[in-house]
Amino acid sequence: MLGTKSDIYSFGVILLQLITGQPPIGLAHRVERAIEEGAFEGMLDPAVHDWPLKEALSLAKMAVKCAELRRKDRPDLSTVLLPELNRLRAMAEESLHRGVLGRADLADDDTQTCISNVSREDPPILLTPPPS
């Protein structure tokens, strides 16, 4: 039966593919084992050279839970996934803000443009569940 829990499974598999750059067959199991063995960093897509390890690990743990084989073991969209995604988004925004402010290799004009773009007063994007 297809439904929200099926979508959550697919979401988890897609996240794992984005993080690792690997095909989906058996991927959740391989990532879960790498996390347990402390070898997660070796699973990251080598084409991406500057992975934020803490955020990638959090995202991978969430994705592995989403890709659980049993539907009942997958996390709930509104109470688990969306709050976690919002937390990760906030972490990424903070990392971006710190990264832009800490870069000394940008020209002054570029730095000012980046800082103004990062710190502008746009409303935050909050992920919310779809209407029932």
- Residue that is written with structure tokens 């049993």 in the block: 70
CA atoms within 13 A on the CB side of 124: 11
* pLDDT > 90 in the chain, percent: 52
- The rounded distance, in Å, linking the Cα atoms of 44 and 22 is 9
Structure tokens given for 116? 């103004």
CB 10 within 8 A of CB 64: no
CB 74 within 8 A of CB 5: yes
Top CATH class, 4-119: mainly alpha
Q: What is the pLDDT of residues 55-114, one digit of tens each?
A: 899 999 999 999 999 999 999 998 999 998 898 888 888 877 776 665 545 444 444 444
pLDDT > 50? residue 119:
no
pLDDT > 90? residue 29:
yes
- The rounded distance, in Å, linking the Cα atoms of 131 and 18 is 28
Domain coordinates in residue numbering, the chain? 4-119
Question: What mean pLDDT comes out for the span 8-23?
Answer: 96
Note the pTM of the prediction, 2 decimals.
Answer: 0.71
